[in-house]
Amino acid sequence: MKVISQNTAFGGMQGVFAHESSACNCEMTFAVFVPPQAISEPRPVLWYLSGLTCTHANVMEKGEYRRMAAELGLIIVCPDTSPRGNDVADELTNWQMGKGAGFYLDATEMPWSEHYRMYTYITEELPALVSQHFRMDMSRQGIFGHSMGGHGAMTIALKHPDRFKSCSAFAPIVQPSTADWSVPAFEKYLGPDRSTWRRYDACALVEDGARFPEFLIDQGKADSFLDNGLRPWLFEEAINGTGIGLTLRMHERYDHSYYFISTFMDDHLKWHAERLR
């Protein structure tokens, strides 16, 4: 692991690091914020997964999480959204496919399967790496994300309820197997057999028996992607009668941007901190 940058913020440390990833078969970059409390004791870990077109830097620079994370003593890990590099497959004119659009799945179709194994990277490789270098309490982990990252956070939590104690999302894609944003990408990454898509679809996972205690979702009503991509009401319908808890907050005038995310970031950090005590 090599250090790209380290900066002091709110008594803690904001770092950016890179390493050679065996899962993604390329160099991967990620960010970690370590609160001041981690000097003396292991602290809970909160994973933030970013959305389409983003890198680790979007939330790090615009998410406004450090002050509250330092106050609550939360370590925040911000991975990239996809593999990177000159030899990594991409679609240069399609922002919904390729670099910046890994959808947190393990691709099975060529040429994507050579590098696009973000599910394995997030759930196996990166946790093993960061737990060696930072004072983390891996028995207290939460996960959240935005848009495509909200989709990733929810599906990962549903498949790992033994690992994660909390999950929330900003404007998540809750049913990517039918959304305009994601259907073409899923077909290219995973092939035409839609039954294989269900393992990366929050609604389908619930229908197939996956369970998680509760979710927090914030959604802006002025989000231009609400009706054809996000559709949080579908998840509300999917969990009906399952015992899964859901706090779904719909906000007037808010859109899909980091202005929206930064407004409610403190709420999400406090919500996770309560469940990670």
The question of whether 22 is a catalytic residue gets the answer no
Please identify which of the residues 115, 256, 268, 272 carries the catalytic annotation. Answer: 256
Please identify which of the residues 147, 166, 168, 182 carries the catalytic annotation. Answer: 147
Residue 66's pLDDT is 98
Residue 103's pLDDT is 98
DSSP string, 33-95: EE-GGGGTS-EEEEEEE--TT--THHHHHHS--HHHHHHHT-EEEEE-SS--STTS---TT-T
The question of whether 146 is a catalytic residue gets the answer no
Q: Which of 73, 61, 79 is nearest to 12 (CA)?
A: 73
Residue 265's pLDDT is 98
Query: Which tens digits make up the pLDDT trace of 149-204?
Result: 999 999 999 999 999 999 999 999 999 999 988 999 999 999 999 999 999 999 99
The C-alpha atoms of residue 263 and residue 193 are separated, in whole angstroms, by 40
User: Which residue is associated with the tokens 């900066």?
Assistant: 7
Please identify which of the residues 90, 106, 201, 223 carries the catalytic annotation. Answer: 223
DSSP string, the chain: -EEEEEEEETTEEEEEEEEEETTTTEEEEEEEEE-GGGGTS-EEEEEEE--TT--THHHHHHS--HHHHHHHT-EEEEE-SS--STTS---TT-TTSBTTB-TTSB--STTGGGT-BHHHIIIIIHHHHHHHHS-EEEEEEEEEEETHHHHHHHHHHHH-TTTEEEEEEES--S-TTT-TTTHHHHHHHH-S-GGGGGGG-HHHHHHTT---SEEEEEEETT-TTIIIII-HHHHHHHTTTT--EEEEEEETT--SSHHHHHHHHHHHHHHHHHH--
The question of whether 256 is a catalytic residue gets the answer yes
Residue 181's pLDDT is 84
Residues of the chain with pLDDT under 50: none
